[in-house]
Amino acid sequence: MSSPATPTASHPVAAGVARLRDQVADLNQTPVWSMTPTETAQALGDATRLRAQADELTLRLAAHAEATQVGLDTGATTTAVHWANTTRQTQRETASKMKLAKALEHHETVAEALAKGVILTDQAQVIVEAVDALPEGLQPQVRLEARAHLLAQAAHHDAKALRILGRRILDVLAPEVGEAQEAKALEVEERRAEQKARLTLHDDGHGTTYGRFQVPTHVADRFRKQLGAIANPKAGGEGSSPHGMGLALIEYVQRYPTDGLPQSGGMDATVVVTMTLETLMGGLKAAQLDTGTRISPALARTLACQAGVIPTVLGTRSQVLDLGRKARFHTKAQRIAMAVQHGGCYAEGCERPSAWCEAHHLTPWSQGGDTTVEDGALLCRRHHTLAHRPHYDMTQLPGGKVAFTKRE
């Protein structure tokens, strides 16, 4: 961009813009440290409005440049491209500004409000888009009233809130039309959102998988509420921080009933954990899921206790010694009985409710433990994990609870 210079153009607008650049350049060299808080607040507000007024002038010039085909004689494909090239803006940005510039030509009251600094540029864009999005066939007076209403609301709302008001403007001016229009718009929006649904997962090779998803907002609302219920500290969760919600997602996946999922290739969503007998009984050899993922022996023993997971135990020559059956896991009735008896997690001092717990064999199943209420206990995910870690001891206390102690 060229630096400020003394105006040499003859047209008042061109000359005035050049003078303004010189004046602003002088202001930019003036220190502000001596300004009082009151002066600073006033100047900040005035500078913001000045920016809006400058934007209106810029957009009006852009519209005139488009009408007079500025830049096309230099080989530029459009005036917006020429504008981008000469001012070092992106073509996407100048195209967006050019679209607003053209729209303002049909919304004189909005352009006037922007020129006076009464509204800001993003507010002007929201108002224009909201009025232009009104359905065809409306009385012209309704459009005028909609524009006037939104201009008045701009004094009290920022662009984000104004956009929400704009989408529901017919509820104020023409309720009978607004209801039908909203229903139609929502149907289109929901259908488009479903068509754009995406989920991608990426394994970084170091035990962590990253994911991105795109789902309809109403589905995300339900998902957020479900995870929020799990993450709620009152229910034993870690709160709604990113880490807490991540832990809630882990809990959500681990607890989802596999018998409620459709089968694929004759198999449901059961996870198969392959491990050696030594691993099951406390060894240190890693196990493997049927997806090919390697997991620690502690996690393998934890998964072997969960419903929807089948432990496949191998001998020293990798022959299948035993293929666990879901029937070996505690039934719903047994879980209810343990919930009534224990009232929640069986670990001393843990207040997590029974709905958040997993059934655990007090006498390990690999060591002949029975799947009974008497030899079972409900443990929350954290304590169930500790129960299968080799560097933790689980001790049954006289009162019936269990305690965990880390080995030295």
Domain boundary among 175, 192, 209: 192
pLDDT of res. 278: 61
> In the structure encoding, which two tokens stand for residue 118, read together?
């009464």
| Whether residues 188 and 242 fall in one domain | no
Q: Would 13 be classed as within a structural domain?
A: no
| Whether residues 51 and 173 fall in one domain | yes
Distance between CA atoms of residues 209 and 320, nearest Å: 30
Distance between CA atoms of residues 108 and 127, nearest Å: 12
Q: Would 310 be classed as within a structural domain?
A: yes
> In the structure encoding, which two tokens stand for residue 92, read together?
């996407």
pLDDT of res. 271: 55
Distance between CA atoms of residues 333 and 341, nearest Å: 12
Distance between CA atoms of residues 39 and 37, nearest Å: 5
pLDDT of res. 109: 96
Q: 25-29, 118-122, 320-324 — which is least confidently predicted?
A: 320-324
pLDDT of 264 > 50? The answer is no
Q: What is the mean pLDDT of the chain?
A: 80
pLDDT of res. 181: 67
pLDDT digits (tens, 9 = 90+) for 340-358: 677 788 888 888 877 778 8
| Whether residues 55 and 77 fall in one domain | yes
pLDDT digits (tens, 9 = 90+) for 126-144: 999 999 988 887 788 888 9
Distance between CA atoms of residues 90 and 102, nearest Å: 19
Q: Which one has a higher pLDDT value, 274 or 199?
A: 199
CB distance 257 to 295 below 8 Å: no
Residue 227's DSSP bridge partners are: none
Give the H/E segment covering residue 312: strand 309-314
| Whether residues 345 and 320 fall in one domain | no
| Whether residues 185 and 89 fall in one domain | yes
pLDDT digits (tens, 9 = 90+) for 101-111: 999 999 999 99
Strongest mean pLDDT among 41-50, 139-148, 345-354, 386-395 = 41-50
pLDDT of res. 333: 66
Closest CA to 396 of 388, 404, 385, 384: 404
Q: Would 219 be classed as within a structural domain?
A: yes
Strongest mean pLDDT among 127-131, 223-227, 236-240, 359-363 = 127-131
| Whether residues 63 and 188 fall in one domain | yes
pLDDT of 211 > 70? The answer is yes
Strongest mean pLDDT among 106-115, 229-238, 377-386 = 106-115
| Whether residues 109 and 174 fall in one domain | yes
Closest CA to 171 of 182, 162, 157, 155: 182
| Whether residues 335 and 352 fall in one domain | yes
pLDDT of res. 135: 81
Q: pTM (2 decimals)?
A: 0.51
Distance between CA atoms of residues 56 and 310, nearest Å: 68
pLDDT of res. 177: 66
- Start-to-end CA span in the chain (Å): 69
pLDDT of 311 > 80? The answer is no
Q: Is 227 helix (H, G, I), strand (E, B) or coil?
A: helix
The answer for residues whose C-beta is within 8 angstroms of residue 203's C-beta and 6 or more apart is 209
Across the range 246-263, mean pLDDT stands at 73
Q: Would 260 be classed as within a structural domain?
A: no
**The domain containing residue 143 runs over which residues?**
41-192
Q: Is 321 helix (H, G, I), strand (E, B) or coil?
A: strand
Distance between CA atoms of residues 59 and 66, nearest Å: 10
Binned at pLDDT 50, 70 and 90, residue 265 comes out as very low
| Whether residues 299 and 363 fall in one domain | no
Q: Which residues of 374-396 are buried (b: 16+ CB within 10 A; e: fewer)?
A: eebbbbbbbbbbbbbbeeeebee
The answer for residues whose C-beta is within 8 angstroms of residue 337's C-beta and 6 or more apart is 373
Percent of the chain past pLDDT 90, that is, above it, reads 35
Across the range 68-93, mean pLDDT stands at 92
Q: Would 228 be classed as within a structural domain?
A: yes
pLDDT of 216 > 90? The answer is no
Q: Which one has a higher pLDDT value, 160 or 216?
A: 160
| Whether residues 250 and 122 fall in one domain | no
pLDDT digits (tens, 9 = 90+) for 172-193: 877 766 666 666 776 777 788 8
Domain boundary among 327, 352, 368: 327
Binned at pLDDT 50, 70 and 90, residue 290 comes out as low
The number of angstroms, rounded, from the C-alpha of 354 to the middle of its chain's C-alpha atoms is 30
The number of domains in the chain is: 4
| Whether residues 239 and 289 fall in one domain | no
pLDDT of res. 326: 44
CA angle 254, 230, 290 (to 5 degrees): 10
pLDDT of res. 300: 67
Q: Would 395 be classed as within a structural domain?
A: yes
Domain boundary among 151, 176, 192: 192
Q: Would 26 be classed as within a structural domain?
A: no
Strongest mean pLDDT among 122-131, 281-290, 369-378 = 122-131
Across the range 242-269, mean pLDDT stands at 67
Q: Would 3 be classed as within a structural domain?
A: no
CB distance 404 to 393 below 8 Å: yes
| Whether residues 57 and 127 fall in one domain | yes
